[in-house]
């Protein structure tokens, strides 16, 4: 099996790698297992020095690796540079803070000394998507490796160059061979890898279908799993919203990464008294989004990742329109080379249409008008997903009501939902379980070992 990257802007093949055979996979897992037994004994301070070195290398290569990301999955060059810089900053963050996060916790008991510690568990398999080719892995790997574990990466098949770069980055920084390993394997090989006793746990970012499959395999083998399965995040515009702040962020929240982010706002829920103003300004701003070559610094919206994704997005939009929805702007693929779909705003979307009940992985916004904030929160929660949510308001009571009321893993007020090293990242309901980043991310793949000295 070959792993091929096709440039979404030009439809040309830009990279191709051969898949790993079962014997090659077995050898790689053996190297990773041996590396773990060495790495877990490495002092955290020494791990941190290598992590900083990897960050330095990445910082020196930002334009090169950004161009690689753009060519393989179509994100704008500016966005790709930002992603690479964020990865380096996160690596530095955990190099600085992981030791304190992993320190033994003392608990007062009747014993002379007692508490608990955080021991690494082994090799963690990371099944990663294509939409943030570096960040999705680094946000797991930086805290997990600092905790003393090693990583085995099964990346999306359409970003093989990025997958290879990640392994090479850690090796060039001086990490022992096997601390980060990239495998080019098919989906059916994942079952064997998860079952292998040298794999201690698995983390996946992807669809709910993939998550159910991996969770089942992990459960069958009694292994820890962390799942981030995307969602249909609400963007609530409350009565007190400042439209000068809200409108620019509403556009960015929908078109960032060409509309292909799990935590991108997808459902815009607006209270009735602000609906006309919001819609007029939002539609005008979405229609004006600069769309084109992702390598052009002026481009804000590039292509979606593949022809299949373009066709799927078109089917979802067409289904909604056939059932009564209105495309206030956009709605049809652009007639040009590459996989381009314009910034689109849909209103009057029936909840039983595909756009009304499915995640839209592309620059399409669904606007729903409701009576008040209470109705907005109820509508936001009436979905199987629960990843993130945003509230736009200047009234603190409205902000607090949304933070308390939204059934999600993360709530941002007057800001786009984002991942950052300081805060735990993850969802609830069908958006998955477990946490990445923050103190929870460092400890997620550890054995919390209690101790008691009489």
Whether 445 and 224 have beta carbons less than 8 Å apart is answered as yes
Report the side by side order of strands in the sheet with 410-413: 326-329, 344-347, 364-370, 265-271, 233-237, 388-392, 410-413
Q: Token pair 């979307």 is at which residue?
A: 349
- Residue count of the chain, please give it: 454
Among residues 422, 454, 419, the alpha carbon closest in space to that of 438 is found at: 422
Q: Which residues pair with 17 in a beta bridge?
A: 3
Q: What residues act catalytically? A: 228, 262
Q: Which residues pair with 447 in a beta bridge?
A: 119
Tokens representing 261 are 């982010």
CA distance 293 to 358: 28
The half-sphere exposure of 8 on its side-chain side, counting CA atoms within 13 A, is 30
Whether 36 and 175 have beta carbons less than 8 Å apart is answered as no
Helix 160-172, helix 44-60: angle, nearest 10: 130
DSSP state for residue 298 in the 8-state scheme: T
Q: Token pair 């002092």 is at which residue?
A: 43
CA distance 188 to 123: 20
Tokens representing 361 are 């992985």
Q: Which residues pair with 224 in a beta bridge?
A: 201
SS3 319: helix
Angle CA 107–110–111, to nearest 5: 75
Element housing 181 (H / E): strand 180-182
Angle CA 441–446–447, to nearest 5: 145
Give the contacts of 308 (CB within 8 A, at least 6 positions apart): none
CA distance 136 to 127: 10
Give the contacts of 447 (CB within 8 A, at least 6 positions apart): 118, 119, 120, 121
Element housing 265 (H / E): strand 265-271
């Amino acid at each position: 099996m070959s792993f091929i990257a096709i440039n979404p802007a030009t439809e040309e093949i830009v990279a191709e790698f051969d898949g790993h055979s079962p014997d090659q996979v077995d050898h790689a897992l053996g190297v990773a297992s041996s590396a773990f037994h060495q790495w877990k004994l490495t002092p955290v301070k020494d791990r941190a020095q290598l992590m900083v070195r990897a960050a330095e290398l990445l910082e020196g290569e930002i334009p090169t690796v950004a161009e690689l990301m753009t060519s393989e999955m179509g994100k704008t060059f500016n966005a790709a540079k930002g992603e690479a810089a964020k990865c380096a900053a996160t690596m530095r963050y955990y190099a600085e803070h992981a030791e304190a996060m992993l320190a033994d916790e003392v608990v007062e008991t009747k014993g002379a000394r007692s508490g608990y510690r955080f021991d690494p568990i082994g090799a963690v398999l990371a099944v990663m998507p294509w939409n943030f080719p570096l960040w999705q892995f680094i946000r797991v790997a930086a805290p997990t490796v600092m905790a003393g574990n090693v990583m085995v990466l099964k990346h999306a098949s359409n970003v093989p160059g990025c997958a290879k770069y990640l392994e090479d980055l850690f090796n060039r920084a001086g990490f022992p061979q096997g601390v980060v390993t990239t495998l080019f394997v098919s989906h059916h090989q994942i079952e064997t890898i998860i079952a292998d006793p040298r794999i201690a746990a698995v983390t996946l970012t992807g669809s709910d279908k993939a998550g159910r499959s991996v969770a089942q395999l992990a459960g069958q083998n009694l292994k820890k799993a962390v799942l981030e399965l995307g969602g249909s995040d609400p963007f609530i515009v409350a009565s007190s919203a400042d439209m000068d702040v809200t409108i620019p962020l509403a556009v960015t929240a929908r078109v960032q990464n060409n509309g292909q982010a799990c935590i991108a706002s997808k459902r815009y829920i607006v209270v009735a008294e602000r609906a006309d103003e919001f819609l007029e300004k939002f539609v005008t701003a979405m229609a004006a989004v600069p769309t084109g070559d992702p390598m052009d610094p002026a481009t804000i919206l590039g292509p979606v990742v593949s022809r299949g994704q373009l066709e799927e997005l078109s089917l979802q939009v067409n289904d909604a329109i056939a059932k009564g929805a209105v495309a206030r702007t956009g709605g049809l693929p652009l007639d040009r080379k590459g996989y381009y779909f314009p910034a689109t705003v849909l209103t009057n979307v029936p909840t039983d249409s595909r756009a009304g009940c499915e995640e839209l992985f592309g620059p399409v916004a669904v606007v729903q008008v409701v009576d008040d904030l209470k109705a907005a929160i109820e509508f936001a929660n009436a979905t199987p997903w629960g990843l993130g949510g945003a509230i736009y308001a200047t009234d603190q009571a409205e902000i607090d009501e949304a933070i308390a009321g939204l059934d999600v893993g993360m709530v941002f007020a007057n800001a786009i939902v984002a991942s950052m090293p300081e805060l735990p990242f993850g969802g609830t309901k069908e958006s998955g379980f477990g946490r990445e980043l923050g103190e929870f991310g460092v400890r997620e793949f550890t054995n919390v070992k209690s101790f008691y000295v009489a």
